[in-house]
Amino acid sequence: MFLKNIVVEKNKEVKSDHFIMSFKDKEIAEDVRKGQFVELKINDGLGNLLRKPISIHDVYENKVSLLYKVIGKGTKALSKYKKGEELSILGPLGNGFPNIADDKEILLVAGGIGFAPFSLIMREVKNWKLFYGFRDASEFLLEGATSDIHYENEQIFITTDNGSMGTKGFVTDKLEEYLRENSQNKIIFSCGPNIMMKKVAEIANQYNVVSYLSLEEYMGCGIGVCAGCVAKIKNPDKPDGWEFKKVCKDGPVFRGDEIIWD
């Protein structure tokens, strides 16, 4: 884990309100594990410093990239950074997704900007399929954000809410349809809205597939000190059978069958 200033090399809008920011950093590039994130200290231009967690989207030849969607004041201010400007960064943070043996097929289930951590996996792992759901075609990020990653069309299943691309409907329906025919030797990694991941965990359970879900919680410090981002995780050794775990430090990735969804 490093705390340092990086120099922005690129900060470009790839689709409406979706940006890729990249910077060169050998130490972070060599240290990062799939599914980890960084905490950015973003200057909003009015003297306020806003800390925001953003996943590591991709790493290639010491170049680290982040993919983010402009939602509120933090990401809006981030989108204003220009090439050559400095940004304070803490990371890589969190546990990330586990390493999986090559004989297992990894089913990546992404909802919207939840696609962000998956590029690095698609680059490094051979045996994967992507189930990618978003609102409409304007949010499709695979070409804009991941242009140099090789994949076959059969590896990708797309759903949109309005049917403007892929199949109309929920990405979890596509996942279920696939598992109905092929549930052997699979493992699921998922990132997206909690409501989608809860469904992913249910489907994984139904087909006896282990799932790992990257939870998104509001975070303060990002290193487990403030306890601002907790999730209820099963633990049979505790009197109530569960405990609070810190999403930033113990997660953000947890096994789907261990999460208690309130």
Ligand X SMILES: Cc1cc2nc3c(=O)[nH]c(=O)nc-3n(C[C@H](O)[C@H](O)[C@H](O)COP(=O)(O)OP(=O)(O)OC[C@H]3O[C@@H](n4cnc5c(N)ncnc54)[C@H](O)[C@@H]3O)c2cc1C
Assign residue 200 a region (left: φ > 0; alpha: ψ between -120 and 50; beta: otherwise): alpha
Give least dist CB 101 to ligand X, A.
Answer: 26
Distance of closest approach, residue 213 Cβ to ligand X, in angstroms: 12
Query: What strand order describes the sheet that includes 37-43?
Result: 49-55, 37-43, 86-93, 2-15, 18-24, 63-69, 58-60
Q: Which is nearer to ligand X, 175 or 196 (CB)?
A: 196
Q: How far is the CB of 246 from ligand X (least distance, A)?
A: 11
CB of 175 to ligand X, least distance (A): 21
Of 50 and 156, nearer to ligand X (C-beta) is 50
Q: Which is nearer to ligand X, 68 or 134 (CB)?
A: 68
Nearest-CB residue for ligand X? 72
Output the smallest distance, CB 57 to ligand X, in A: 6
Choice between 106 and 141, CB closer to ligand X: 141
Closest separation between CB of residue 154 and ligand X, Å? 27
Q: Which is nearer to ligand X, 133 or 252 (CB)?
A: 252
Q: Which of 6, 219 has the CB closer to ligand X?
A: 219
Cβ-in-10-Å burial (0-12, 13-18, 19+) of 258 comes to middle
CB of 173 to ligand X, least distance (A): 22
- Cα 189 to chain centroid distance, Å, stands at 9
Question: d(Cα 167, Cα 160) in Å, to the nearest integer?
Answer: 6
- One-letter amino acid at 7 equals V
Per CB under 6 A, residues contacting ligand X are 37, 52-55, 67-69, 71-75, 113, 116, 216-217, 219, 252
CA 144 vs. chain centroid, Å, equals: 17
The answer to whether 213 touches 256, Cβ cutoff 8 Å, is yes
Minimum gap (Å) between residue 242 Cβ and ligand X: 21
What ranges in 55-166 are assigned the alpha helix state H? Answer: 73-78, 118-124, 142-145
Identify the sign of the CA torsion 205, 211, 212, 215.
Answer: negative
Residues 6+ apart with CB under 8 A from 193: 111, 112, 114
**Beta carbon nearer to ligand X, 53 or 166:** 53
Residue (145 or 179) nearer to ligand X, CB = 145
Pairing state between β 230-234 and 167-168: unpaired
